[in-house]
Amino acid sequence: MPHPSALSASVHRAVLDALAVVFPVSCAGCDVPDRDLCESCRQTLIPAPTMRRLPSGLEVRSGLLFEGEAARVLRAFKEDGRTSLARPLAVALEAAWPVGIDAVPVPVPASGPSLRRRGYAPVELVSRRAGWRPHRLLRVTRHTADQRMLAKDERAANLAGAMAVRPGAHRRSGGLPVVLVDDVVTTGATLEEAARALRAAGITVHGAVTVAATPRRRRSEDSS
């Protein structure tokens, strides 16, 4: 199917209607039938960038708050294999990129088991939909406990030393600084570990961008 932007809105809708007959779907945000993403939920994905600074000083910019319909859409994209949601979510990711920065986007790596379970790497996919070329400079070196099961102070300990750079990472970054990319920031422990591994290899980390940030009042709810 051609990219929707190449079609008029009415043709686009007709295609969606036809597809809904063949592949019944419901909106990822609100379950209304026959739409992968309804117009009302699409509106909740309009970027409203925020910035927070982690304890290490790392600046994290996020396109959305991880709440309501936007959180449901992001979960459906990450957990239910609904890869068509990458494009609308990429709009939020793009909006989080720091203005005027020439840097290499580096996705936070998914662990082996989650990659095998899903069959795709959500962060890389949404980065590509944002028009970026993600550089796989990081790898997971050991299995860690699910961050969601841990208290805030346990999360950093759980992740310490859990990532390393891949061979040739410094050369592959082309001497440019990097910007880390992840789906959701909660405590920021995952991003801090990723930044630590890159800096240990002599790579400058300019900051991080995420599709969404957990609202501060409910930080412990999801992700890492």
Could you list the residues that contact Zn ion (CB under 5 A)?
27, 29-30, 38, 41
Q: Which is nearer to Zn ion, 44 or 144 (CB)?
A: 44
Nearest approach in angstroms of CB 27 to Zn ion is 3
CB closer to Zn ion out of 41 and 85: 41
Closest CB to Zn ion among residues 88, 207: 88
**In the complex, minimum distance from the CB of residue 21 to Zn ion, in angstroms, rounded to a whole number:** 19
| Nearer of residues 41 and 71 to Zn ion, judged by Cβ | 41
Closer by beta carbon to Zn ion, 46 or else 145: 46
Cβ of residue 81: shortest distance to Zn ion, in angstroms?
18
Q: How far is the CB of 217 from Zn ion (least distance, A)?
A: 24
CB of 76 to Zn ion, least distance (A): 11
Residue where the block lists tokens 């969404």: 212
Q: Which amino acid is at 158?
A: N
Least Å from the CB of residue 12 to Zn ion: 17
41 or 150: whose CB is closer to Zn ion?
41
What is the full DSSP assignment across the chain? ---GGGS-HHHHHHHHHHHHHHS--B-TTT--BT-SS-HHHHHTTS---EEEE-TTS-EEEEEEES-HHHHHHHHHHHHS--GGGHHHHHHHHHHHSPTT---EEEEPPPPHHHHHHHSS-HHHHHHHHTT------EEE-S----GGGS-HHHHHHHHTT-EEEPTTHHHHTTT--EEEEEEEESS-HHHHHHHHHHHHTT--EEEEEEEEE--GGGGGGS--
In angstroms, the CA 26 to CA 132 distance is 29
